Structure 1
């Protein structure tokens, strides 16, 4: 993977992603990891498991409501990254109004994965706090064929599922794989970038912060179902609520 810096909003629009190594230092990563450890010592963190094919959802999550009330240092980082997002996109984007979704901490144990998907929001930033074997993010930037007026429709679902097939990904997509490393910030057009997380292969957990941004009037018709699906251990129908 070639390391280079996006210099302009035009370049980000063309490439669909940006990454910055050592966005925060190892010391800052260690401090955030300790805060997360401290929270987990006295609070339970829900494990999400959805047996979807070909890659299940399997991870623990600390959602935005908990972050605001218990780990404000992460919330402050979420707000700081917002300015970088606006510079990259040349737009006035904001943290999501849905606090639960806007900023999360994902914790993936050995064998854990994250399904192929597109994000509901326009821009997603991922900040990695540690290095593990496996757990790479695999993504295809600016890959999605989008129906502008039917983003959460069954027609969009059909297109998305066809594009997720291995043959289509490797024939028409540009595959990028990034290994977790402390302090690395990855920014991508989440609703256009097909992405998944490969299995973690060592005992140490993969820990990263997920930050979501969009226009202030962004509306997600699948909000309630998708929130339960992604942030709760409650049983749900084994279908993807990204589509109505």
Structure 2
């Protein structure tokens, strides 16, 4: 484990350390959800105050821009970038149109971490995210499964991408869902994968035809109707994780 911190961070240095020093804890948790850690080394780099304005899932050493620490510590960006060690660094996309396989999964990992930490359930985060974007927002016109060259890092790839995975989880149930994730990282380790291959795997493990779900949530413009009841209309209270997740997503990979 090697972590490095710029000496220029000033009063943000403490928040950077409080976040990045949880890397081993995060990697251990990820290993329990996604399968064995695919590399030998791990760590993180907190860049200088005048450095990059985003985070990057550099293999075994994610790099974090100083903006992530402007409001204090934020482990959610650490979860996001370390999830990429499985989804992006070990299993790489077949081409950039498949970017959902990286960003949707790393974003949904934040929701799963929130559940693990008792800071809000994935269902609560789905409800809030679904309601965060009005039905007529341009957000719903970007297709996470094929966003186009100019939108590969669009909010829809991250947030609608996470919503798509939650709908998959609800459709197949937790037992199948949490077998699908490590099966994917094992079958495609150190190689490439496509959305079609992921769908085929999910259908094989769940025994369900998932074509309508994948088409609706990844490849159809407009705000989909959830396949399970949503509490969005009841304006659920924001879970404790919401602020950290939103703060992280304002800077991720932009």
TM-score for the superposition, normalised by structure 1: 0.27
Higher strand share: 1
TM-score for the superposition, normalised by structure 2: 0.26
Higher helix share: 2
